[in-house]
Amino acid sequence: MEGEPTNTPGSGGRTIEECQDMIRKSLRTPMVKFLREHLEKAGCGIGDNFIKAVNCEKKMSGGYVSGDGIVVCSNHMNMQDEVNQVVIHELIHAYDDCRAANLDWANCVHHACSEIRAGHLSGDCHYKRELLRGYMKIRGHEQECVRRRVMKSMIANPYCSEAAAKDAMEAVWDVCYNDTKPFDRAP
């Protein structure tokens, strides 16, 4: 997306160019390579422009838009690990979109299922990440974290009220949490 303003040094986050370099690095990580391979096997290969760095007005790290690809919010990224996490999380959404011919992101149940899977399989809720976020619970932290992050994402969906998001998440929790495709088990 040329012509978009980039960050000035010291303003927090990275410039679009710096973030694009970080995305290129993340494409070489084993987990990203694995997910790209499985997208390809599922018939949904992704081109070079599928993952782009952009400046985001909302306080978010990135997102996936069906048919458009993945955006990584450069102005909210500081470290390579953050970019890797966003890319992995969003590639899981892309994989879900690819394998489910009728996935409807406006359907709270569909959205909840993909968020549960992405939160569980991406490593977003690894206990070290949770400690860095200030969540100190050791036992049961992972599922609690996934639930918290699913709700945060779902509430941003204009088609899902908080009550609808919670009901959708609870309705599909067991099935979606235990669906680890394309992995044999949760990484």
Q: Where in the sequence numbering do the catalytic residues fall?
A: 90
Question: CA 69, 97, 109: angle at the middle one, nearest 5?
Answer: 120
Return all residues near 30 (Cβ < 8 A) that are at least 6 apart: none
Q: Residue 35's closest CA among 24, 19, 48, 46? A: 46
Whether the CB-CB separation of 94 and 46 falls below 8 Å is answered with yes
Q: Which pair of tokens denotes residue 34?
A: 């694995």
In three-state secondary structure terms, 69 is: strand
In three-state secondary structure terms, 60 is: coil
Residues 110, 100: Cα–Cα separation, whole Å: 10
